[in-house]
């Protein structure tokens, strides 16, 4: 069972995403409307995937990612956005985000990305017209052979 936390300040988007993912047998989905509430829940409960919008009121973007990483460094963070990701792509990957998925991605892409193996690869699904792009996770200095 994969425990997924969806965070979006637009209730219709969050509820719709939750309903789509809830249709999968192996998913248990929680939806929250605020980044503050998400941080409180992440502190108390274990999730496999965090699917979140960058443009949240109060705690957003890099600040949110850093706080989530402090609370649960194993949580697979996936940015769920309607915006162009190119300007901030590398910054968020370096902060530990596993990938980006457009709010226009197909149901199949969203399910595949959410169900993919944890922290084994970076994933980007830009839109429903593009296939998901798999990026291998870069080796850390400790894992490189000398």
- Structure-token pair, residue 39: 């941080």
Topology of domain 2-136, CATH: Rossmann fold (3.40.50)
CB-based contact 31:76 (threshold 8 Å): no
Using pLDDT thresholds of 50, 70 and 90, give the confidence band for residue 131. Answer: very low
CB-based contact 104:110 (threshold 8 Å): no
Give residue limits of the domains in the chain: 2-136
Q: What is the pLDDT of residues 92-130, one digit of tens each?
A: 888 989 888 888 888 888 888 888 765 555 555 544 433
For the chain, report the end-to-end CA distance as a whole number of angstroms.
38
Q: What does the pLDDT read at residue 45?
A: 97
The CA distance from 94 to 96, in Å, is 5
The CA distance from 24 to 42, in Å, is 22
Using pLDDT thresholds of 50, 70 and 90, give the confidence band for residue 29. Answer: very high
Half-sphere exposure of 76 (CA within 13 A, CB side): 20
């Amino acid at each position: 069972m994969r425990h997924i936390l969806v965070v979006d300040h637009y209730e219709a988007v969050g509820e719709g995403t939750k309903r789509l993912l809830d249709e999968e047998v192996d998913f248990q989905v929680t939806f929250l409307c605020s980044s503050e509430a998400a941080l409180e829940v992440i502190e108390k409960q274990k999730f496999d995937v965090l699917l979140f919008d960058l443009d949240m009121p109060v705690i957003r973007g890099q600040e949110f990612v850093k706080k989530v990483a402090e609370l649960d460094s194993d949580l697979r963070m996936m940015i769920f956005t309607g915006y162009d990701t190119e300007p901030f792509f590398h910054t968020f990957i370096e902060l530990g985000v596993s990938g980006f998925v457009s709010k226009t991605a197909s149901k199949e892409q969203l399910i595949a990305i959410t169900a993919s193996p944890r922290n084994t690869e970076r994933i980007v699904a830009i839109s429903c017209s593009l296939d998901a792009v798999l990026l291998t996770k870069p080796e850390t200095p400790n894992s490189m052979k000398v």
